[in-house]
Amino acid sequence: MKIFKNSALQKKAQSVVEFALVAILVGIMSFVAFYKLNPAFFRSFFKGSVSASGNIDSNGQLTLNNYDDTSQMATSVTSPCDTTIAIGSAETDGTIYAGSNLCTTSADTGSATFNKGAHVTLSTTATSTSNGQSNTNTLAGLSDSASPYNAALMCANLTINGHSDWYLPAQSELLALYNNLYTAGKGSLSNNKYWSSTDDSSPNDDAMYVNFNNGGTTHQDKSTSSNVRCVRHD
């Protein structure tokens, strides 16, 4: 009788284990089948649960975050400015819409000299009054007796608010910041001189700046230190 009881208990235990294994197997197969039928559900779930900062891409793939020196997460570098919001308002990425299809950082990048910080009688071809991106690219690529061109490089090397396509504004673009933002008390611009990326070929040791004290535009020696505010465009 004792042997019969032990045998019955063993059979019962074996049945329980077998049932558990079958249940686990069925559960795994059901999960796989449900995933194959509803991949969008799982991508949406993991995108929301892993991180709100974009760790999961549109294909549901896990990506690593890239950070710059200011601990701003790098996202897209090509997305346009949001021209649908009011001038002076912050965009979703933290940049400020400045009107005229421009957006700018929420604060000055710093101050710098236009060139390496020496009085050098040398002009460049970065003379556009409206295309700061072209000017900046030209200045950043020069290797001459006046290089490096610090103000332009400060913007060309900037990665902030998820963007790395910043540039030093040309004369008219800088005036747009003055007229659209500074005069309205927006954009955290200061009552100082700001470098444009527009070189002044005559005299060839000067470059153009805008005085935010009065909106005046004139030239000064490239070795002079002035404020730098970077922009990007739509």
- 30 with 139, same domain: the answer is no
Band of pLDDT at residue 13, cut at 50, 70 and 90: low
Task: Judge contact between 120 and 146, C-beta under 8 A.
Answer: yes
Q: In terms of domains, do 25 and 100 share one?
A: no
Does 189 reside within a domain? Answer: yes
DSSP-based three-state secondary structure for 113: strand
Q: Which of 189, 149, 179 is nearest to 167 (CA)?
A: 149
Let me know whether 110 and 36 are in one domain: no
What pTM was computed for the model?
A: 0.68
Give the model's confidence band at 21: pLDDT under 50 very low, under 70 low, under 90 confident, else very high: confident
With 80 as the cut, is the pLDDT of residue 65 above it? Answer: no
Partners of 167 in the β-ladder:
231
Buried b (16+ CB within 10 A) or exposed e, 110-138: ebbbbbeeeebeebbebbbbebbbbbbeb
Count how many domains the chain has. 2
Using the 8-state DSSP alphabet, how is residue 203 labeled?
A: S
Helical pair 2-37 and 39-50, crossing angle rounded to 10 deg: 90
Supply the range of the domain harboring residue 202: 96-233
